[in-house]
Structure 1
Amino acid sequence: MADSPEAIAGVADVDCSGKTVLITGSTSGIGRAAALACGRMGADVLVHGRDAAAGNAVVDEIESTGASATFFQADFAEVDAVEGLISSVRKATTGLDVLINNAGGFFRSGELTELGVEYTFHVNHLSPYLLTTELLDHCNDGARIVTTASGAHRGASLDLDRIESVDSYAAMWAYSHSKLANILFSSELAWRLGEADIEITANSLHPGAIPGSGFWRFLPGPLSRLVSGAGWLPGVTTVADGAAELLHAAFSPRIASVSGRYFASQRPQTPSEAARDTDAANRLWSYSADVLDIPEPLAAESTAE
């Protein structure tokens, strides 16, 4: 299909037989579209989400193509649930070839999670951080780690004090800040993997502004209605286009050895200055381990200059 995500990404001919792919947030939107595409490409797909009925429906659709799929339920606002997901993935597979950190959201109201940090930051950054770092030794050589960030990171700067309170909560700032954290995490992960001579790549991406993904349901009423009907507006892309961004980063042979980059429109892009701050990336890495109460993964004294 010329309009399928894999065709748009230029990876329709990539044979994923024997590869295991975990896609978080894959019961709807671009995650679901990417999971279905991975099934068509022959991969064993690990589907993740909070809604078991939606997850099992995706599994059924993948299996109808002859591919293998399994659903894993976990709420990314709960540390124990993510730890359970990690344990389940380890038990169900012999290793991962692709991990796509796609789960996340935009949340109108502010609240603190069990870790004492703001909900958006926990769901969008801390849970992917925990999942990724605790599955690193379960990833096969040559594996790719892909994290869904956003162009919304521009304008934000890292503020680790502000996320420990919701007194001045602003939904758009919280989202933008969490997406900045996604890029900083991905680039720091890539650097530390390189320093440790581990043959795994890590990249982040902007999937586009996608009304059909369901993301915009989190926005205030009038804006949500405007954007949800705005498929004709410049810069607005489809769910298939957004899923193609995930597939390009995960499977394109052209970027097999590329790591530590931020992609948009299937091309490396330069993120904001704040997203290129190596000191901030290092601080975020250490802070995340501290707040999760885990040993610092891939411990290093400092980041590259």
Structure 2
Amino acid sequence: MTETPESRAGVTDVDLSGTTALVTGSTSGIGREAALSLGRLGADVLVHGRDETAGNEVVDELVDAGSDARFVEADFASIEDVNALAETVRTETSELDVLLNNAGGLFRTGRLTDAGVEYTFHVNHLAPYLLTTNLLGHLAPDARVVTTASEAHRGAQPNWDAVTSVDDYSTFGAYSRSKLANIQFSIELAHRLDAADDEITSNALHPGAIPGSGFARFLPGPIPRAMQLLDGLPFVTSVDDGAAALVNLAASDRLEGVSGRYFDQQQIRTPSSAALDPDSQHDLWTRSAEFLDIDVPLSEASTQG
């Protein structure tokens, strides 16, 4: 019998009854398996994605497991859609206990969104930044915010010219930059929450290199087929392992109160020096608000004077 993500995370004895989780990007891959895992642990789950048919299939599985679940559609390249998603969560739930910022992608072609921001950066960073800050007032006092990043962040540096232009676009460069932003955002959020004496936690993780996640479909040439052939080999991270990394941060009693950390699967790891630069974290936070034309969130709890 295949070991479930909650078993791999060592949280099968955790009871999430009475809690509500939103898992973005949960119609396939690790997000789907993490959503199902949280449902089996007793949580009510909001399933997010762009494919209504796939989303409703996940909802059906969750309902069969006893979870009160529903699908919410939103395109993360659309500010309007993300705002609407946040409004749906606020309207249809009493509070949110777990926010898994898992949605994202790696895109072959460079283009700008309506916000004038490179598409990968917008979808992978600006959307979860906007969603999370929109929901801060709706999060439970001990809520957990988990953001899917990647070891691909290593070697990346902040580059605002590249974020606002697609000249000399590089698929992997754009992806790495967005994953660096995920970690910086997660740490800065943790610092600002702490400065506000808030017990909500924020952590980021690398879920592993996962051929079976479907992520490889964004890659060029024969790479997607080659990645499929790797799936199942003993040295390759499985979808269930990646989901377990998410569930560990969402549900493990061992991580109560742990915040501002970066995990490589289920182990704490030190991210790159660029990710840990407090000036860069602060700059990302404020510039992200400028791109979205919103007030700087948690400005009264700024980590800088």
Distance 1:301 1:67, change over 3 A: closer
Alpha-carbon distance between aligned partners in 1 of 2:57 and 2:302, rounded to the nearest angstrom: 45
**Could you say which residue in structure 1 is the equivalent of 2:246?**
246
Identity %: 61
1:75 is aligned to 75
Q: Does 1:45 align with 2:45?
A: yes
> Which secondary structure state, in structure 1, belongs to the residue aligned with residue 42 of structure 2?
coil
- Does the 8 A contact of 2:185 with 2:284 survive in 1? yes
1:258 aligns with 2:219: no
CA contact (8 A) 1:2 1:8 kept: no
- Give the superposition deviation at 1:301: 7.7
Which residue is 1:161 aligned to?
Answer: 161
Secondary structure at the aligned position of 2:230 is classed as: coil
Contact 2:30–2:213, Cα closer than 8 Å, also in 1: yes
Displacement of 1:231 after TM fit? 2.6
Question: Runs of at least 4 residues of structure 1 off by over 2 A?
Answer: 231-235, 300-305
Amino acid at match of 1:280: S
Q: Give the TM-score of the pair, scaled to structure 1.
A: 0.97
State the match for 2:176 in structure 1: 176
Distance 2:164 2:269 in 1: 31
> Does the aligned pair in 2 maintain the 1:185–1:284 contact within 8 Å?
yes
Deviation at 1:224, TM superposition (A): 1.8
Match of 1:100? 100
2:203 and 2:261 in contact (8 A); partners too: yes
C-alpha separation between the residues in 2 aligned to 1:301 and 1:94?
Answer: 25
Which residue is 1:87 aligned to? 87
- What is the distance in 2 between the residues matched to 1:301 and 1:132? 16
Q: Name 2:28's counterpart in structure 1.
A: 28
The aligned counterpart of 1:191 is: 191
CA distance in 2, matches of 1:294, 1:235: 44
Q: Equivalent residue of 2:142, what SS?
A: strand
* Runs of at least 5 residues in structure 2 that lack an aligned partner in the other structure: none
Residues 195, 302 of structure 2: 8 Å contact kept: no
Can you list the C-alpha shifts for 1:40-63, whole angstroms capped at 9, x where unaligned?
A: 111000000001111111000110
- Cα distance in 1 for partners of 2:94, 2:301 equals 32
Structure-2 separation of matches of 1:60 and 1:234: 31
- Aligned 8 A contact 1:209 1:235 in 2: no
Whether the 8 Å CA contact 2:232–2:238 is kept in 1: the answer is no
Q: CA deviation at 1:233?
A: 5.3
Quote the Cα distance in structure 2 between the aligned partners of 1:207 and 1:304: 31
Equivalence for 1:270: 270
**What per-residue deviation string (whole Å, max 9, x for no partner) do you get for residues 231-267 of structure 1?**
3557521000000000001111111110000001311
Q: What pairs up with 1:102-181 in 2 under 5 angstroms?
A: 102-181=102-181
Counterpart in 2 of 1:64? 64
Contiguous gaps of at least 5 residues in structure 1: none
Aligned AA (1:239): V
Quote the residue 1:226 is aligned against. Answer: 226
**Alignment: residue pair count:** 305
| Length-normalised TM-score, structure 2 | 0.97
Q: Is the 8 A contact 2:5 2:243 kept in 1?
A: yes
What RMSD in Å do the two structures reach over aligned CA positions? Answer: 1.4
Q: Partners in 1 of 2:251 and 2:109 — Cα distance?
A: 36
Whole-Å separation in 1 of the counterparts to 2:69 and 2:116? 35
C-alpha deviations, 1:90-148, integer Å up to 9, x for none?
11100000000000000000000000010000000000000000101100111000000
Paired with 1:5 and 1:58, the residues of 2 have a C-alpha distance of 16
C-alpha distance in structure 2 between counterparts of 1:265 and 1:73, whole Å? 28
- How many angstroms apart in 1 are the aligned matches of 2:195 and 2:234? 41
| Partner secondary structure for residue 229 of structure 1 | helix
Q: Are 1:3 and 2:6 matched, yes or no? A: no
